[in-house]
Amino acid sequence: MEESYHKFEKEFQDQIDILEPQSDDQLDEIFREYKSQALKLFKKIAVGDDMQGKFVEDLKKKIKKKYDMLKADNTRNVEHSWQAFLSNLYTSIE
């Protein structure tokens, strides 16, 4: 589970860093893609029926928690970008 989560975390964070800030739709699309990859990797390497049930749910919860944190960061970055943009416009007018 940890290998799948760390792969998700690294690749999702790298993608966010490259394109930051971005719209919620873009962020959701990227999230779904990397979540799907992480779950496929986990299911590929997991052994046993019980391993997949409980651990898949744990993995989904960890991924969702990370997503929520990155989404909040992205929202703050969008707000800061808009504030900077509007500040530049305002000073240009004066």
- Of the candidates 26, 52, 48, 24, the residue with the CA atom closest to the CA atom of residue 39: 52
What range defines the domain where residue 27 resides? 2-93
State how many domains the chain has.
Answer: 1
Angle between helices 2-19 and 49-93 (to 10 degrees): 20
> Which pLDDT tens digit goes with each residue over 23-46?
888 889 988 998 998 988 888 887
Return the pLDDT at 61.
93
Q: Say what the pTM is.
A: 0.68
The pLDDT confidence band at residue 85, using thresholds 50, 70 and 90, is: confident
The pLDDT confidence band at residue 92, using thresholds 50, 70 and 90, is: low
In 3-state terms, the chain is what percent helix, strand and coil (to 5)? 90, 0, 10
| Alpha helix (H) residue ranges in 20-48 | 24-45
